[in-house]
Amino acid sequence: MSSCHDTVVHIHPGGQLVALVGNPNCGKTALFNLLTGSRQKVANYAGVTVERKEGQFRTSAGKTLRVLDLPGAYSLNPRSPDERVTVDVLHGRARGEKRPDIVVCVVDATNLRRNLRLVLAVQRLGLPCVVALNMADMAARRGLQVDADALARELGVPVVPTVGIKADGDRALRALLEDRSLWKAAQAAQEALHQDGDHHTVQTILERLGLDKAMPETASDRIDRVVLHPVIGPAILAVLLFLVFQAVFSWAEAPMGWIEGATGALGEAVGALLPEGVLRSFVVDGLIAGLGGVVVFLPQILILFFFILLLEESGYLPRAAFLLDRLMGSVGLSGRAFIPLLSSFACAIPGIMAARTIADPRDRIVTILLAPMMTCSARLPVYALLIAAFIPSRQVFGGLELQGLVLFALYLAGILGAFAVAWVLKRFGSGKRHVRTLMMELPSYHWPTVRAVATGLWQRALIFLRRVGGVILVMTVVLWVLSSFPVPPEGYTEPAIEYSLAGRIGQALAFIFEPIGFNWQISIALVPAMAAREVAVAALATVYAVGATGDEAGSALAPLLAQDWSMATALAMMAWFVFAPQCLSTLATIRRETGGWKWVGVTAGYLFVLAYAASFVTYRVALAFGL
């Protein structure tokens, strides 16, 4: 799952252009990262890269080549928007981009039959190309001897073995790209001749290389006999997901305690240094309470992503898609929607972009509409705060943590909500629908490398902390100003914060949110939360810190909420965050990906109605039960 903040791509219109092209999941991005020192997302399933990304490769002679990483493609007849990106680049039709000077065809050495067909198609375009025989390590481990020189003679282009996951695994490819004679030969390249059936050509090549025999059963096949078993498979999936949510609470307890202790101590120390007054309130109640209130959730986010990274890199995710395909089909969702929806658990933005891998336009729109309902990591702090404040930490059903269970239920609520909406769209949508069965490649399992997981976690931490130092900081400052000014006149008896702008705006909004049990503090927190979900936590922390009096001052947010809110209010707010329209950047992404405002309006509208209804029902039912 990639980030909310994709790396900025710098365009360098000059310079020789090298494009990496190949089937999905053959390791293009891994090689791109090695060549250019980038950190683009790599994961063990098809369709990770959906946009073109550019990097630079510096030759030892000091020349700079521009390198493009492209979405994977099975053929050059694009069926989905991401494949179209690749084909457009190869034809020189991509906006602001010239035709590549050289194409590096990346092929998966363990699956030459399918991969070579794309090489032939690229050659036919008349583009000079070289072949990177990637996954050379895996091929060797399986006892596949691919003779690079023989393959080079068959194809008539240079072939070098590469290993995308080894620090020096791109050495041969680097040497090739540095070779001046390659570029001279490239200029002279002609339209390749063979036009006759590629299937036949590939078969002939494989026969000559002695690689046409049936492959022996691999370890992956043996694992899949258990993991894809109709009964055992879903059971494993359920247990796995369950353990993840349990771990998010139980493992995070200690590190969260440290962060809480540290921010508390910092607040006290700074509070003692600064004189009583506006500056102290700004630093202690605004910055430290607001940002500290959010930073404390870093351990939980990292634990969640630790598991997601393991699942992504091992190759388990497409298996999960396979297991859930029937279920998704029964509500009218294409199995292709699985990966985009799953990516949305990190952030809806990469999820919505990953919907580019869906060929059918209707399926794609439905997936985009549902993506915001998956619980993005920005909502985790909100849930975790409410759970810590209102759900007792105790064991139920023999050993299960109640808090983890509630978190699991909130994630599940989003998924079930999405399924319900998909079902309604299928019932009342455009006429008869036949759901195609999922044709999805199951990659070989690998062990995730420590480096990949560590880099992934590091990037996650950076993204989160950048949000804290960016949008969350700005919103916290705005909220502190709103809750501190204007200062009430002498003799004002109510709490000062109710006189402030924040208090007044909150009370003005109350007529909308009162029926669903929200007080004015929540109402005011919901507005800046449109910028980023975590802001709700920082906003509540600030509003309560500014408003705190006497012995409440300086205590953590959760106990304050536990005192101030009813259980019904807390549950209603959880329900709100399951469905509420996403942050503004998600809506902006929907606009970009669908090319208009229509679907933005539809998404925001239906999510608002759903969130309001869900909170209303939750609140009323909870009240009826006397909570």
Ligand X SMILES: Nc1nc2c(ncn2[C@@H]2O[C@H](COP(=O)(O)OP(=O)(O)OP(=O)(O)O)[C@@H](O)[C@H]2O)c(=O)[nH]1
Where on the chain is the footprint of ligand X (CB under 6 A)?
Answer: 22, 24-30, 42-44, 46-49, 71-72, 134-135, 137-138, 163-165, 169, 313, 446
Tokens of 388: 């810590």
| Partner from Mg ion, ligand X, none contacting 67, C-beta within 5 to 8 A by type | none
Kindly indicate which of the ranges 49-57, 167-175, 248-256, 345-353 contains the residues binding Mg ion, using the contact rule CB under 5 A: 49-57
Please, what is the minimum distance in Å from the beta carbon of residue 136 to ligand X?
Answer: 6
Told to check if 29 binds Mg ion by CB under 5 A, we report yes
Instruction: Show Cβ contacts of residue 587 under 8 Å, excluding neighbours closer than 6 positions.
Output: 581, 600, 603, 604
Please, what is the minimum distance in Å from the beta carbon of residue 26 to Mg ion?
Answer: 9
Nearer to ligand X, 135 or 386 (CB): 135
Nearest-CA neighbor of 373 among 325, 405, 404, 340?
A: 340
| Distance from C-alpha of 371 to C-alpha of 358, rounded to nearest angstrom | 14
Kindly indicate which of the ranges 44-52, 228-236, 242-250, 300-308 contains the residues binding Mg ion, using the contact rule CB under 5 A: 44-52
Please, what is the minimum distance in Å from the beta carbon of residue 488 to ligand X?
Answer: 58
| Partner from ligand X, Mg ion, none contacting 523, C-beta within 5 to 8 A by type | none
The CA-based angle 105-106-112, given to 5 degrees, is: 100
Nearer to ligand X, 34 or 535 (CB): 34
Please, what is the minimum distance in Å from the beta carbon of residue 321 to Mg ion?
Answer: 18
Place of tokens 């502190």: 480
Please, what is the minimum distance in Å from the beta carbon of residue 49 to Mg ion?
Answer: 3
Please, what is the minimum distance in Å from the beta carbon of residue 171 to Mg ion?
Answer: 21
| Partner from Mg ion, ligand X, none contacting 163, C-beta within 5 to 8 A by type | ligand X
| Distance from C-alpha of 93 to C-alpha of 488, rounded to nearest angstrom | 63
Nearer to ligand X, 455 or 555 (CB): 455
Tokens of 513: 């949110």
| Distance from C-alpha of 477 to C-alpha of 482, rounded to nearest angstrom | 9
| Partner from Mg ion, ligand X, none contacting 285, C-beta within 5 to 8 A by type | none
Kindly indicate which of the ranges 25-33, 244-252, 407-415, 461-469 contains the residues binding Mg ion, using the contact rule CB under 5 A: 25-33
Please, what is the minimum distance in Å from the beta carbon of residue 438 to Mg ion?
Answer: 20
Residue 395 forms beta bridges with which residues?
401
Q: Name the maximum alpha-carbon separation found in the chain.
A: 96
Tokens of 203: 């078969």
Told to check if 49 binds Mg ion by CB under 5 A, we report yes
| Partner from ligand X, Mg ion, none contacting 569, C-beta within 5 to 8 A by type | none
Please, what is the minimum distance in Å from the beta carbon of residue 211 to ligand X?
Answer: 18
Task: For residue 290, give Cα distances in angstroms to 453, 466, 574.
Answer: 30, 15, 20
Nearer to ligand X, 20 or 256 (CB): 20
| Partner from ligand X, Mg ion, none contacting 333, C-beta within 5 to 8 A by type | none
| Partner from ligand X, Mg ion, none contacting 370, C-beta within 5 to 8 A by type | none
| Partner from Mg ion, ligand X, none contacting 313, C-beta within 5 to 8 A by type | ligand X
Please, what is the minimum distance in Å from the beta carbon of residue 434 to Mg ion?
Answer: 31
Nearer to ligand X, 71 or 81 (CB): 71
Q: Are 44 and 313 in contact (CB under 8 A)?
A: yes
Q: Which of 18, 19, 26, 48 binds Mg ion (CB under 5 A)?
A: 48
| Distance from C-alpha of 521 to C-alpha of 502, rounded to nearest angstrom | 8
Nearer to ligand X, 26 or 90 (CB): 26
Q: Which long-range contacts (CB under 8 A, 24 or more apart) does 275-281 make?
A: 278/484, 281/480, 281/484, 281/546
| Partner from Mg ion, ligand X, none contacting 24, C-beta within 5 to 8 A by type | ligand X
Tokens of 413: 């609520």
Told to check if 46 binds Mg ion by CB under 5 A, we report no
**Residue 621 backbone dihedrals phi, psi, to 5 degrees:** -65, -45
Q: Are 56 and 328 in contact (CB under 8 A)?
A: no
| Partner from Mg ion, ligand X, none contacting 116, C-beta within 5 to 8 A by type | none
Q: Are 108 and 173 in contact (CB under 8 A)?
A: no
Please, what is the minimum distance in Å from the beta carbon of residue 457 to ligand X?
Answer: 16
Please, what is the minimum distance in Å from the beta carbon of residue 224 to Mg ion?
Answer: 23
Q: Enumerate helices (H) and strands (E) in the chain, giving the number of each.
A: 30, 8
Nearer to ligand X, 140 or 562 (CB): 140
| Distance from C-alpha of 512 to C-alpha of 310, rounded to nearest angstrom | 43
| Partner from Mg ion, ligand X, none contacting 583, C-beta within 5 to 8 A by type | none
Q: Are 351 and 340 in contact (CB under 8 A)?
A: yes
State how beta strands 64-69 and 53-58 pair: antiparallel
Output the DSSP codes for 281-333: IIIIIIIIHHHHHHHTTHHHHHHHHHHHHHHHHHT-HHHHHHHHHHHHHHTT-
Nearer to Mg ion, 29 or 44 (CB): 29
| Distance from C-alpha of 543 to C-alpha of 524, rounded to nearest angstrom | 9
Nearer to ligand X, 185 or 453 (CB): 453
Nearer to Mg ion, 46 or 539 (CB): 46
Nearer to Mg ion, 57 or 297 (CB): 57
Classify the C-alpha dihedral 164-169-172-176 as positive or negative: positive
Nearer to ligand X, 351 or 517 (CB): 351
Please, what is the minimum distance in Å from the beta carbon of residue 25 to ligand X?
Answer: 4
| Partner from Mg ion, ligand X, none contacting 320, C-beta within 5 to 8 A by type | none
State the residues that interact with Mg ion by CB under 5 A: 29, 48-49
